[in-house]
Amino acid sequence: MTLPLGPIDIAVLGAYLAAAIGIGLKVGGKTKSLESYLLGDRDLAWWAILGSIVATETSAATVLSVPGEAYGATGMKFLQLALGYIVGRAIIVRLLLPLYFRGQLLTAYEVLQQRFGGATRQAASFVFLVTRNLGDGLRLFLAAIVLHRLAEVPMAWSVLIMGVISTAYTFWGGMRSIVWNDCVQFVVYMVGAIAAVFVIAGHISGGWSELFRFAAEHDKFRVLDFNPAFNQDYTLWAGVIGGAVLTIGTHGTDHSMVQRYLSARSQSAAGWAVFLSGIVVFLQFTLFLFIGIELACYYAQNPGPVLKKDEVFADFIVHVFPQNTGLIGLMLAAILSSTLSSSLSASAAALVNDFYLPCRKSLPTSEHLYFVTRGLTIAFGVVQVAIGIGAQFLNDSVVKNALTIAGFSAGLLLGVFALGVLTRRAGQTSALVGGAAGLVVLLAVKFVLPGQGVAIAFPWLALIGASTTFGVGCFVSLFVPQQTPPGATS
């Protein structure tokens, strides 16, 4: 295969990667304390946090797979899930943000110590650390596949290049660097997506009129599906209910998100960033899905080898995009940029505040903690790169199953938070037993029931995990009286 990247494309891609590190170096001069490093001195603009939230949840898999959904049978019905995201964010603003802004917290899981005790806090933080780094390491691998195929860079080097860049700008600039790089990433992949809309349309015989005729004929613009079946991924019920619970878990209890809220100037500013991010994601998904409809029309006119729906957009970029005009470089930067938003700072903060400090007999100096946190940022970068490199030796099903397990944390953590917020009787034993039961049920639903002919659509998994954790925790609380451990408040 002829290398699709010309000198101009390489220059565009190189300029973006250099800018990512440059931003880290520039803002690094303003980062002199632990709070500044982890939370940007709690002085970041709401619109910057909004951009960071959206960019953080947009992976390379999103940029490539969402168009694939519209290319296939789903069409615009994927947007039902985005409706649930908006509902979930509204609930986060109302119920969870007040908890995080009551005191000068550094991690989301300090809330759990205040309610249950140190063991629950550390259990939740451990789940976050394992699942977030496993998931991000695998997402790093999936994005590296794109660099490997488009630029013919060896897979291990593809993972290493992307991992080093994200680790470097996080190490130098901390949360300020992450947020500002996220904003640049958001602009890059949106510009790339808009450019793709016009490039694809220009290759459709008959232009826009034929595109809309094709979409109407194949029912691609249909959004709402009222099918009540639990094995269908994209229905109104799975989207709004399942999607809302999922986003409450991913955006309300995952510290990589909560860290961004705590960086805002006020609870109100954080609330605007969280809620409006749901609307921006809805519009973003609409754009990606429209690209998928365009691709379906183009390939209907120009049939070729049978492709998996997730491969269609990448195939078009490689074989149809005009070469050496900068467009391929822009699209590659857009795809790679959607992965460079890092969880490294959040992982370092969780390990230091939830594990390292509680083990210390005396409070270390701020300078010492700053040094340790930056060192852990590099350590987690190495962990994610190692996972990404190791993933190339696994088959596709193992990678997808590992990503699914990483996604279990949203429901489990949400169930534990719900026990703390919605009940007074449940104590630490109830929370821990409930979380363990939720994990067992999720594993059974995902890996045992399908073998028995029972399939549950993925939007329901977070609801199942959260409701099981909450229900079992409440049941246990009937028999185990609450005991308030040291450091907890009833």
Task: Record the tokens describing residue 390, joined without a space.
Answer: 């190791």
Return the higher-pLDDT residue of 485 and 410: 410
CA-to-CA distance for 305 and 221, rounded, in angstroms?
A: 26
pLDDT recorded at residue 386 = 93
Domain span at residue 140 reads 7-388
> How crowded is residue 474: how many other Cβ atoms within 10 Å of its Cβ?
17
| Within a domain: 455 | no
What is the number of domains present in the chain? 1
Q: Does residue 230 lie in a domain region?
A: yes
Residue 207 in domain: yes
Q: Which two tokens stand for residue 90?
A: 């509204």
pLDDT for the residue numbered 166? 80
Residue 490: the pLDDT is: 43
Q: Please report which confidence band the pLDDT of residue 341 belongs to, taking 50, 70 and 90 as the band edges.
A: low
Of the CA atoms within 13 Å of residue 81, those in its CB half-sphere come to: 21
Q: Does residue 138 fall inside a structural domain? A: yes
CA–CA distance, 223 with 238 (Å, rounded to integer): 13
DSSP SS3 for 256: helix
CA distances from 257 to 57, 65, 97, 386 (A): 9, 22, 12, 23
Residues 313-328, buried b or exposed e (16+ Cβ, 10 A)?
bbbbbbebbebeebbb
pLDDT above 90 (res 283): yes
Please check the confidence at residue 314 and state whether its pLDDT lies above 70. yes
- Residue 412 maps to a domain: no
Amino acid making up residue 374: R
User: Encoding tokens for residue 236?
Assistant: 């109104």
CA gap 46, 268 in Å, rounded: 9
Give per-residue pLDDT as tens, 204-243.
999 999 999 999 999 999 999 998 888 888 999 999 999 9
Vertex 220: Cα angle to 217 and 226 (nearest 5):
115
Q: Which residues contact 255 (CB under 8 A, 6 or more apart)?
A: 107, 108, 109, 125, 128, 132, 346, 349, 350
pTM above 0.85, yes or no: yes
C-alpha span between 387 and 469 (Å, rounded): 29
Nearest 5°: the CA angle 109, 339, 50 is: 60
Whether 396 maps to a domain, the answer reads no
Contact 17, 164 (CB under 8 A): no
The average pLDDT across 21-42 equals 73
Backbone angles phi, psi at 459, to 5 degrees: -65, -20
**For residues 246 and 233, what is the distance between their CA atoms, to the nearest angstrom?**
13
The pLDDT of residue 1 is: 44
At 34, which CATH number? 1.20.1730.10
| Cα–Cα separations (whole angstroms), residue 230 to 234, 385, 473 | 10, 37, 25
Q: Give the three-state DSSP class for 44.
A: strand
Distance CA(96)–CA(101), nearest Å, equals 9
Cα–Cα distances in angstroms (integers) from residue 105 to residues 40, 97, 282, 352, 449, in the given order: 13, 12, 30, 13, 41
Tell me what the mean pLDDT of segment 49-65 comes to. Answer: 83
DSSP 8-state symbol, 322? P
Q: pLDDT band at 199, cuts 50/70/90? A: very high
In tens, the pLDDT along 364-400 reads: 888 888 889 889 999 999 999 999 899 888 776 666 6
Tell me how far apart the alpha carbons of residues 370 and 145 are, in angstroms, rounded to a whole number. 35
Contact 328, 173 (CB under 8 A): no
Helix axes 60-71, 327-337, angle to 10 degrees: 110
Give the separation between CA 181 and CA 339, rounded to whole angstroms. Answer: 11
d(CA 484, CA 489) in angstroms, rounded, equals: 7
pLDDT at 485 over 70: no
Residue 339's pLDDT band (boundaries 50, 70, 90)? low
Rounded CA separation 469/40 (Å): 34
Report if residue 144 sits inside a domain. Answer: yes
pLDDT range class, residue 4, cuts 50, 70, 90: low
Does residue 442 belong to any structural domain of this protein?
no
Mean of per-residue pLDDT scores for the chain? 85
Over the stretch 96-149, which tens digit does the pLDDT of each residue have? 898 888 865 556 788 888 888 889 999 999 998 998 888 888 888 877 877 777
